[in-house]
Structure 1
Amino acid sequence: MRVLITGGGGFIGRKIASKLVDRGDQAIAFDFAFPVEARRLAAEVPGFHLVEGDITDLAPVIAAFQTHKPDAIIHCAAIVGVLYSVASPGNVYRVNLQGSVNIFEAMRLCGVRRIVHMSSEEVYGDFERPIIDESHPTRPSMPYGISKLAVEQTGRVYRDLHDLECINMRTSWVYGVGLPRPRPPTTFLDAALRGEACHLSFGADVAIDFTYMDDVVGGVLAALDAKSPSHDVYNLASGTATTLGEMVELIREMIPGANISAKPGPYMFTPTLRAPLKGALDMSRAYEELEFAPRFDLRRGFEAYIEDWRARTPADHNGH
């Protein structure tokens, strides 16, 4: 299979591309820029191709489709993060929504039917229950979540008008070594591993479904491979929520001497901007229809993270 990955140079896209190549597929990573790691992989690994282009410009998108003739799309390209979306909503809508429309148009014009879209738990807004399934109301409160829900609905329009198949994977607080923005649990893990301090004056009471990167990759590929899924939306998380306070205690147990803490209260993006209420994502639909189940609970995910971090970090910079 030939798969074009938008945002293929990014944190999630690059790992999905590598996994595709590992299993014998052709991966075409489409992005406006690529890190050194991606360029090295493309030079060393047959079947891993880099294509530079901007998804907000339809011409290079069409050119990539015509040149590489993908069988399916994995759509990771987006401006992510609630804070950035509040600071620059116009840019977020331009990239996330207009860029997605360009991908849908290229699929329509070039005869590509299936796309797996990386959506977000932010589309739900405040969780109404401790654990929610895909039938939960979608009331996003921030521009980022609104943009993701708009892409989901736009995919349904292209499904109805042009017989495209857009599968939306709603992820939740993905973590792994190299996450390009500061957010728990990576902020706490990295500080503990470096022997540095990390203290939050809020957030200990909020329960969040933290999802290890390998499970995200596995769930996306399960959606890509699914024969005839019955739905167009699937939760993709660990299935269990952990409070930030419990998470801090777990890291302290796993990394003795960790100088980290979080004080009671909700999670705050800024002193006046509260994060939507979170919880666990029910994974039953993905298990039943995609035959996918997460492999990493929080402890196992942290074990994998710590092992990966230490493998990448020179001994003289390793705090423990």
Structure 2
Amino acid sequence: MKKILVTGACGWLGAAIVRALLARGDAVVATDLAISPAMDALARDQSRLTTAAADLGEWPQVARLFEQHRPDAVVHAAAIVGVVQCADIPIKVHRVNVEGSINLFESMRIAGVKRVVHISTEETYGDFNAERIDEEHPQKPVSIYGATKLAVEHLGRVYSRDHGLECVNVRTCWVYGPHLPRLRVPRTFIEAALRGEPHHLPEGGELAVDQVYIDDTVAGVLLALDKDTHRFDSYNIATGQAPSIADVANAVNRAIPGARITVGRSGEGYRHGGTVPSARKGALDIRRATAELGYRPQYDIQKGIEATIAITRIEMAKHREGK
């Protein structure tokens, strides 16, 4: 049994990683800016889970985490996430995503903790130069979010070279699934369809982008965490396929009888939040992750949409009943 420190543990993806680690028998230290009621409740039921509120932007608080809990490794999921959110608050994003990561790496160096799996993003690539790209694609981000995540990747490389840290980057791409915290595709499509309401996205139907179900993302993170030695410091963890936004709408229409989800294909392209233009996307080549980690995604877009619908339907019914 290992003890794993998970940063951003109360976020959507971080919490899923915490649950997966506990399910397989690891001890977990869950840290976030504030500990959510759900994580507190889980800690009461799980003796192997410890919670610790900490601000990664505050060096003494981060150092104290390692002094008090002595983890064996780290999964670094803490960040301000999303193109639109980061565009609005660039200075804060730099403090959280970049300075917080420096504090984390420095604390690891002092404590002698070697391995960290950093949750990175396809946004570090910027505009894709092919329909499917691998990890050697140039990294030229066109968003604040992507720029900060690339900075963290490079900082990890410095700490790996100079101090012997093992900083492994898992590059995800449009992760989705039940309880997705942001109002974006496919959540907006699914919830409208389950309410019996038509929904039309005016533009962006032609954007093709790899979309990975949350369970596959978590599986890839754990495989990267567990591998004895790494020949590479980055892995694409996605599906290797790139359905268009219109394809996602059609997947929802197939899964929910009577659904009326439509998407326009105007020349304006897809805009995050309806405001920020998307980089050119495509599929992530996952052959490195398959060969090196044994990663094999279990959900194509139709299966993932159907799994999301099943859980969302139950949650929406509970909400209507006031439970």
TM > 0.5 between the two?
yes
Question: Hey, what does 1:106 align to over in structure 2?
Answer: 107
The one-letter code of the counterpart of 1:80 is V
The one-letter code of the counterpart of 1:94 is R
Q: What are the equivalent positions in structure 2 for 1:160-309 lying under 5 Å apart? A: 160-265=161-266, 266-269=269-272, 273-309=276-312
Question: Hey, what does 1:97 align to over in structure 2?
Answer: 98
Q: TM-score, normalised by structure 1?
A: 0.96
Q: TM-score, normalised by structure 2?
A: 0.95
Return the alpha-carbon distance in structure 2 between the equivalents of residues 65 and 129 of structure 1.
Answer: 42
Q: Identity rate of aligned residues, in percent?
A: 43
Q: Please report how far the alpha carbon of residue 315 of structure 1 lies from its aligned counterpart in structure 2 after TM superposition.
A: 5.8
Question: Hey, what does 2:88 align to over in structure 1?
Answer: 87
Q: Please report how far the alpha carbon of residue 272 of structure 1 lies from its aligned counterpart in structure 2 after TM superposition.
A: 6.0
Q: Deviations over 1:226-275 (max 9, x none)?
A: 11111001001111100011111111011011132110031013666320
Question: Hey, what does 2:157 align to over in structure 1?
Answer: 156
Which stretches of structure 1, 4 residues or more, deviate above 3 A after TM superposition? Answer: 270-273, 315-318
Return the alpha-carbon distance in structure 2 between the equivalents of residues 169 and 40 of structure 1.
Answer: 29
Unaligned segments of structure 1, at least 5 residues: none
Return the alpha-carbon distance in structure 2 between the equivalents of residues 316 and 19 of structure 1.
Answer: 26
Contact 1:168 1:233 in 2 (8 A): yes
1:310 aligns with 2:286: no
1:77 aligns with 2:78: yes
Return the alpha-carbon distance in structure 1 between the equivalents of residues 85 and 309 of structure 2.
Answer: 28
Q: Deviations over 1:201-223 (max 9, x none)?
A: 10100001111000010000000
Question: Hey, what does 1:63 align to over in structure 2?
Answer: 64
Return the alpha-carbon distance in structure 2 between the equivalents of residues 25 and 179 of structure 1.
Answer: 25
Name the CA shift for 1:272/1:67 in 2 (closer, same or farther; >3 Å).
closer
SS for the counterpart of 2:194 is helix
Return the alpha-carbon distance in structure 2 between the equivalents of residues 101 and 198 of structure 1.
Answer: 43
1:138 aligns with 2:177: no
Q: Please report how far the alpha carbon of residue 34 of structure 1 lies from its aligned counterpart in structure 2 after TM superposition.
A: 2.5
Return the alpha-carbon distance in structure 1 between the equivalents of residues 74 and 195 of structure 2.
Answer: 38
Return the alpha-carbon distance in structure 1 between the equivalents of residues 105 and 167 of structure 2.
Answer: 9
Contact 2:35 2:52 in 1 (8 A): no
Q: Please report how far the alpha carbon of residue 35 of structure 1 lies from its aligned counterpart in structure 2 after TM superposition.
A: 2.5
The one-letter code of the counterpart of 1:269 is H
Unaligned segments of structure 2, at least 5 residues: none
The one-letter code of the counterpart of 1:311 is I
Return the alpha-carbon distance in structure 1 between the equivalents of residues 194 and 51 of structure 2.
Answer: 33
